[in-house]
Amino acid sequence: MNQPNLVELNNITKKFPGVTANDQVNFSVRPGEIHVLLGENGSGKSTLMSVLCGLYSPDAGDIIIRGTKMQFRSPRQAINAGIGMVHQHFKLIESFSVAENVILGDQSIPQVLKMHQIKNYLTKLSQRFGLQINPSAMVWQLSVGEKQRVEIVKMLYRGSQVLILDEPTAVLTPQETGELFRTLREMTATGRGIVVITHKMHEVMEIADRVTVLRRGRSVATLEKQQINQQDLAWLMVGQDILRQEKKKIPPGDKHVLELKNVHCLNDQGLPGLTDISFTVHSGEIFGIAGIAGSGQRELAEVIARLRPVSSGDVLINNQAITGCSPRQAIDHGVAMVPEDRLGTGLVPNMDAMDNLILKSYRNKSLRRGPFLNRTLTREKVNQLVSRFEIRLNAPDAPVKLLSGGNLQRLLLAREITSDPQLLIAVYPVRGLDIKATEAVHNLLLEQRSKGLAVLLISEDLEEIFKLSDRVGVLCDGRITGIRPADATGVEEIGLLMMDAQNQGETTI
């Protein structure tokens, strides 16, 4: 019964310039358990796990692995001790195959071992845990869900006894999440210990054997399964009630801010990405797009922001066609977007927060002095944004890639919303955000809606879609399979439209 802990972290302290990311934190992993690590954005979760996996060395405290005190000088030493981590941002090499990525850096492989033997082994290993991967596929061809499976197989291949997953479901569809959870259970059944970082309460309720809550770098509680309930967790995390704003019943304006007329486009593989898309979004309306990931959501956002050419059809803003416009001209027409890939296309990772915040307004005359930026005025404006959107910057001139996931997201939203757009395209706007930040973003979107902004909300979370949207359009395989007023439909109907059940006789229920 009383097996020793796989991992014990005792009084871990880790400081960065201007912030104590972990302050004397205690944490342990038992064999066969899923231990959820919970906390607001910036509370120190990723840092604590990076200490455990040898990426950071702690300023103080002990790491004890199966009873032995260890000091990791590199992730390799942690891997050798059986600790594997799948990071928030994946670390695969795109131009290598799956198998090459998995064995990368493994010096124990005998030179004579043939690639096909390795591939066979990987196939068996992945099947054992219900992880579908193709060892011969090239990584650049894979979806995010598949890349994540490769990362997990890589850690299993290296003999991880403790697997740490940093927000693994943030990028997954509900179906993929279900598969992942089944895989995790398979792994705990072999005595492995799992740490999962997540912001989603229902996932905590579903998978946690224990929960540890961090707040501002400190551990505030560790709860056993039978002690876990949602209200207490929310309180422990933020120390206050979460204000939930309901959607006010206000009729949308009659101005057509966005109109798509029979839009067709190709996807990255040169195949039809969108087929015959037509809909309108009014001023003061949130139009939600529901759909399984990869149904054309990205293409839709890109076509409207003019980042992707249309093959036929028209995109109109305020009744003016912008189909031939550049992205810059689309911005000038009032189109703002919070893209899916924050660090890739939304922000410049190596620039500081100020430069990122003014990235789109540097042409604004009020911020300039002659041809130059007025640094004092700009700094003032940036300070206002930082406090209004509660962005936690430790060092204002540090590159934004060092910010926690949630703070990155706030930065991006702050910039887009304050650019005074006519249309805001919000692609998975709360992905990776904690509950408080999620409510803040939702409130912000509802507030902007009542001021007359047109919002195109793209989300996989039906609860979010129903909470915010006035109308819901469903994307399936690049087509709109239905548009419904949100208060005259339900999750079931939308779910069927997501699978396009009406058009596939045999799957109609």
Ligand X SMILES: Nc1ncnc2c1ncn2[C@@H]1O[C@H](COP(=O)(O)OP(=O)(O)OP(=O)(O)O)[C@@H](O)[C@H]1O
Smallest distance, Mg ion to C-beta of residue 48, A: 10
| 24 lies in the site for ligand X, by CB under 6 A | no
C-alpha angle 143-149-153 in degrees, rounded to nearest 5: 145
Nearest to 107 by CA among 80, 73, 136, 135: 80
The interface mask with ligand X, positions 409-438, x = CB under 6 A, is ------------------------------
* Binding range to ligand X, per CB under 6 A, among 37-45, 224-232, 334-342, 352-360: 37-45
Strands 34-39 and 210-215: what pairing?
parallel
The DSSP code sequence of 375-399 is HHHHHHHHHHHHHHTT---SSTTSB
Smallest distance, Mg ion to C-beta of residue 434, A: 10
Smallest distance, ligand X to C-beta of residue 506, A: 43
Nearest to 363 by CA among 378, 348, 380, 353: 378
| 198 lies in the site for Mg ion, by CB under 5 A | no
| 46 lies in the site for ligand X, by CB under 6 A | yes
d(CA 357, CA 320) in angstroms, rounded, equals 28
Smallest distance, ligand X to C-beta of residue 179, A: 23
Positions in 391-410 near Mg ion (CB under 5 A) = 405
Positions in 364-393 near ligand X (CB under 6 A) = 392
Q: Which does 44 bind (CB under 5 to 8 A by kind): Mg ion, ligand X, none?
A: ligand X
For residue 505, the one-letter residue type is G
Smallest distance, Mg ion to C-beta of residue 55, A: 12
* Binding range to ligand X, per CB under 6 A, among 14-22, 185-193, 300-308, 338-346: 14-22
Smallest distance, ligand X to C-beta of residue 393, A: 8
| 168 lies in the site for ligand X, by CB under 6 A | no
d(CA 315, CA 482) in angstroms, rounded, equals 19
Single out the residue of 19, 52, 237, 468 in contact with ligand X (rule: CB under 6 A).
Answer: 19
| 42 lies in the site for ligand X, by CB under 6 A | yes
* Total count of residues recorded for the chain: 509
Q: Which does 177 bind (CB under 5 to 8 A by kind): ligand X, Mg ion, none?
A: none
Smallest distance, ligand X to C-beta of residue 396, A: 12
| 403 lies in the site for ligand X, by CB under 6 A | yes
Which residues share a beta bridge with 218? 215
* Helical H segments across 200-253, by residue range: 201-207, 230-238
* Binding range to ligand X, per CB under 6 A, among 36-44, 255-263, 278-286, 294-302: 36-44
* Binding range to ligand X, per CB under 6 A, among 115-123, 331-339, 379-387, 401-409: 401-409
| 41 lies in the site for ligand X, by CB under 6 A | yes
| 44 lies in the site for ligand X, by CB under 6 A | yes
Task: State the distance between the two ends of the chain, measured CA to CA, in whole angstroms.
Answer: 47
Comparing CB distances to ligand X, the nearer of 405 and 478 is 405
Q: H/E element holding 52?
A: helix 45-52
Single out the residue of 22, 28, 43, 46 in contact with Mg ion (rule: CB under 5 A).
Answer: 46
Nearest to 168 by CA among 139, 148, 150, 189: 148
| 394 lies in the site for ligand X, by CB under 6 A | yes
| 47 lies in the site for ligand X, by CB under 6 A | yes
Q: Which does 183 bind (CB under 5 to 8 A by kind): Mg ion, ligand X, none?
A: none
Smallest distance, ligand X to C-beta of residue 395, A: 8
| Torsion, Cα of 43, 45, 48, 49 (10° steps) | -170
CB 306 within 8 A of CB 325: yes
Edge-to-edge order in the sheet of strand 193-197: 83-86, 162-166, 193-197, 34-39, 210-215, 218-224
d(CA 330, CA 326) in angstroms, rounded, equals 6
Smallest distance, Mg ion to C-beta of residue 41, A: 7
**How far, CA to CA in Å, does 323 sit from each of 19, 295, 335?**
47, 22, 13
Nearest to 477 by CA among 340, 270, 297, 310: 297
Residues that bind ligand X (CB under 6 A): 16, 19, 21, 39, 41-47, 392, 394, 402-406
Residues that bind Mg ion (CB under 5 A): 46, 405
